[in-house]
Amino acid sequence: MASSVWFIISICLIALCALQGAALFFKKDSVKKNGLNFAHQSLQKFTKQVTASLDAIPDPVWIKDQKQVYIYCNAPFEALIGLPKNQLLGFTDEDIQTRQHAHPIIDITSKISPGYNEEWVTLADGTMDFFQIGIAPSFDNKAKLVSTLGYAKRLTEYKERESQLKDSEIRINEALKLTKVGIWEWDVTNDIWFATPSYFIMLGYSPVEGAASRKQELEKVHPDDRAAVLATIQNILTNKSPSNYYKYQARIRHKNGEYRWIGVRCIVTEFDSKGNPSRMLGVRIDIDEIRKANDQVEWLAHHDSLTKLPNRESLNQAFHQLIKTNTKLALLFIDLDHFKKINDTLGHVIGDQLLQNVADRMRHLVKDIRHIARQGGDEFMILLPAENMSNIESKTIEIKNALSERYYIDQHQFFITPSIGVSFYPENSENFETLYKQADTAMYHAKNAGRNRYAFFNQEMQAASTRSLMLSNALHDALLQNEFSLHFQPQVSLSTTEVIGAEALIRWHSKSLGHVSPGEFIPLAEESGQILSIGEWVLRETVRQIRTWLNNDIKPVRIAVNLSYAQFQTNDLPILIADILKEFNVSSEYLELELTERTAAIDPEHTVATLESLQQIGTHTSMDDFGTGYSSLSYLQRFPIYKLKIDQSFVRNMANNYNDRIIVGTIILLAQQLGMRTIAEGVETEEQLDLLKTIGCDDAQGYYISRPIPAERFELEFLTKH
């Protein structure tokens, strides 16, 4: 636009110069050459047309003669200066400046050097505009200046837009630096390649102004990745790629010599007449941290972060690779015995270090690290070739012995033993998950058999495991299905033969499994944590039954309820019992609470505090299975209990075993010295009953007196007679 206007102005300037010369000629020779009046009039008419053309130009235009006197200006120039023509034409800049007190615009109109110039100009009203100024002098045939034409094009809007674009470019480049994104463009036809500063800066290099070397950039690609990168680019250049874009990830050399992962994406923006790419636009992104994070996530997905061993999923993958070669395998499931004690006594830091030591010993024992895994906690798994059964047994013993050797951690040294279960592929199963469950079952069998052992899986274990699972599932619904009931076993005084109490014993008749022994379901309840809700049910049902007897005007006897270890460890046990007694309005004198000697001995201080709280409620407490635990006599005298229950294992053989008789007698003597009563459980013969009377036992219970019976029968046979 500006150049075309300038061309018109230049033509007009030439025309004006010619007209000026012609005008001078006619003025000088008008008398002598009256015959040329018609031509003179024509020139005047043409002059008006030229000036009219200049007047039509929307930008300021002015013309000065050889003495810098204004001889022409158009309306936009008048508006720019702020003066009418009659105050401009015939005057120089100095004249106008003197009369008009220095208009700032005069600075640009006073320019005489030919060519273009661009600058900011302060206007009369104090605002600023940006102008492109053009000056074109004209000369006569003697090279003498005849006139000067000036042209001013207002470019403020374009300049501001250009400034905004530059600011935007700066901001974009800064943003690209922060986001580690570089943009590049490749003129494929002319092999000209350039990139934004961020492209270079992200890898520590200085930005390249203008065209850069694509070859040098490709040489920075890691040698192991370069062939794939070049092949990707070549495929799109030769139209072997089905799309018009490509992407890849490669390691590219940083200025410090290290390699970083970079992601590249490119799209073809132009094609030549043959349909081949002629221009491409692409970006590259620093994905090193993301790639390494993904690698770390991938590693963690298949490894244990503490021991750095593979995890179960990774071992599963190794298993499937091995069975492709038709290799027979043994899966060892290893659990550390009493590991929880290490954590509880020495802390989790020592416990973690122990697990790391165990993992190191396994690495030494098994050549291929992929065949070892940490299942979680203190559980590990090992896959071994199993072509020879005797070799597997030898290797299992070797692993057990190695893991059982002394450990030295910080200033501590200790022993810990493993229990190991083994299952076999394909004999036991061809499925990894099934093998895992079978090895786990065998491990529990080894643990239940005494720990520090190994066991090979067999179908009998599977049957026991299936039974245990069925019981566990049924146990979850037993309370809701009202499948529990209480039986009562009477306790008699050996001196009066009167019933002085009874023990409440839970019974379970499952709707799906039938009668289930307490010896079978109580351990499951303890293991699953359901023992708390079951124990509360026994307490509540016992007190409810006592209230029923009282409501029926039947005087009840004191009922003893066994407390589990989990129940006794809860801090709110005394509050729970007090609330239940209050709920049914039953006196505490009718309730007796039994805890085993082992439970009492685990935390004697807690035992003393809890028993004292129960004593304040008014309930009686007794110690069950006395003689089989490890309670200290110094604590025993502090325990506020009123009765010791002699374990049936001593009572059963006391008639035939002198040592058992001495133990029973010693327990009775100890109780008497401490002011406690004694009761013998498991009395099954008259001879046992007579011996207990002879050596001073106070009370007894057992099958000889009565089996545990339902409440209605107990009421009929013992309470109504009482």
pLDDT (tens digit, 9 = 90+) per residue, 645-654? 999 989 998 9
Question: Is a pLDDT exceeding 60 seen at residue 540?
Answer: yes
Q: Cβ distance 339 to 331 under 8 Å?
A: no
**Residue 572 pLDDT:** 92
DSSP secondary structure letter of residue 309: -
3-state SS assignment for residue 372:
strand
**Residue 28 pLDDT:** 46
Q: Cβ distance 468 to 448 under 8 Å?
A: no
Q: What is the mean pLDDT of residues 609-617?
A: 93
3-state SS assignment for residue 188:
coil
Question: Is a pLDDT exceeding 50 seen at residue 1?
Answer: no
For the chain, count helices (H), then strands (E): 27, 27
In this structure, what are the phi and psi dihedrals at residue 495, rounded to the nearest 5 degrees? -85, -30
410: tokens are 């910080």
pLDDT tens profile 480-520? 999 999 999 999 999 999 999 999 999 999 998 999 999 98
Question: Is a pLDDT exceeding 70 seen at residue 17?
Answer: no
DSSP secondary structure letter of residue 160: H
506: tokens are 């839970």
**Residue 29 pLDDT:** 46
**Residue 9 pLDDT:** 52
The CA distances from residue 122 to 156, 353, 702, in Å, are: 12, 79, 118
Domains and CATH numbers, the chain: 2-154 (3.30.450.20), 161-292 (3.30.450.20), 306-457 (3.30.70.270), 475-719 (3.20.20.450)
Distance CA 506, CA 485 (A): 6
Q: Output the CA torsion 579→582→588→590 (10° steps).
A: -110
Q: What is the mean pLDDT of residues 14-30?
A: 47
Q: What is the mean pLDDT of residues 671-700?
A: 94
CA-wise closest residue to 667 among 597, 593, 564, 565 = 597
CA-wise closest residue to 235 among 223, 251, 221, 246 = 246
Q: Which residues contact 412 (CB under 8 A, 6 or more apart)?
A: 346, 350
**Residue 274 pLDDT:** 84
State the burial class of residue 56 (Cβ atoms within 10 Å of its Cβ: 0-12, 13-18, 19+).
Answer: exposed
**Residue 105 pLDDT:** 57
**Residue 57 pLDDT:** 85
State the burial class of residue 435 (Cβ atoms within 10 Å of its Cβ: 0-12, 13-18, 19+).
Answer: buried
**Residue 584 pLDDT:** 97
Q: Name the percent of the chain in helix, strand, coil, to the closest 5.
A: 50, 25, 25
Helices (H), 30-135: 37-56, 75-81, 93-100, 106-109
Residues pairing with 700 in the sheet: 492, 680
Q: Output the CA torsion 427→429→432→433 (10° steps).
A: -140
In this structure, what are the phi and psi dihedrals at residue 250, rounded to the nearest 5 degrees? -150, 160
User: What stretch of H or E contains 709?
Assistant: strand 709-710
**Residue 18 pLDDT:** 47
Mean pLDDT of the chain: 86
In this prediction, residue 633 has a pLDDT band, given cuts at 50, 70 and 90, of: low
Q: What is the mean pLDDT of residues 388-403?
A: 92
**Which percentage of the chain shows pLDDT scores above 70?**
88
* Higher pLDDT among residues 677 and 122, named by residue: 677
CA-wise closest residue to 500 among 623, 626, 590, 563 = 590
Distance CA 700, CA 98 (A): 136
**Residue 177 pLDDT:** 55
In this prediction, residue 169 has a pLDDT band, given cuts at 50, 70 and 90, of: low
**Residue 182 pLDDT:** 84
Q: Output the CA torsion 514→519→525→526 (10° steps).
A: 180
In this prediction, residue 629 has a pLDDT band, given cuts at 50, 70 and 90, of: low
**Which percentage of the chain shows pLDDT scores above 90?**
47
Strand 558-562 to strand 259-271: parallel, antiparallel, or no bridges (unpaired)? unpaired
CA-wise closest residue to 682 among 657, 662, 708, 658 = 708
pTM for this structure?
Answer: 0.52
In this structure, what are the phi and psi dihedrals at residue 238, rounded to the nearest 5 degrees? -100, 10
Question: Is a pLDDT exceeding 90 seen at residue 294?
Answer: no
Q: What is the mean pLDDT of residues 2-31?
A: 48
In this prediction, residue 128 has a pLDDT band, given cuts at 50, 70 and 90, of: confident
Q: Buried b vs exposed e over 26-39: b needs ≥16 C-beta within 10 Å? A: beeeeeeeeeeeee
The CA distances from residue 261 to 125, 185, 250, 289, in Å, are: 59, 21, 6, 8
In this prediction, residue 236 has a pLDDT band, given cuts at 50, 70 and 90, of: confident
Distance of CA 424 to the CA centre of its chain: 36
Q: Cβ distance 20 to 64 under 8 Å?
A: no
Q: What is the mean pLDDT of residues 694-699?
A: 95
Residues pairing with 281 in the sheet: 185, 267
pLDDT tens profile 524-539? 898 888 999 999 999 9
pLDDT tens profile 559-611? 999 999 999 999 899 999 999 999 999 999 999 999 988 888 888 888 899 99
Distance CA 200, CA 255 (A): 10
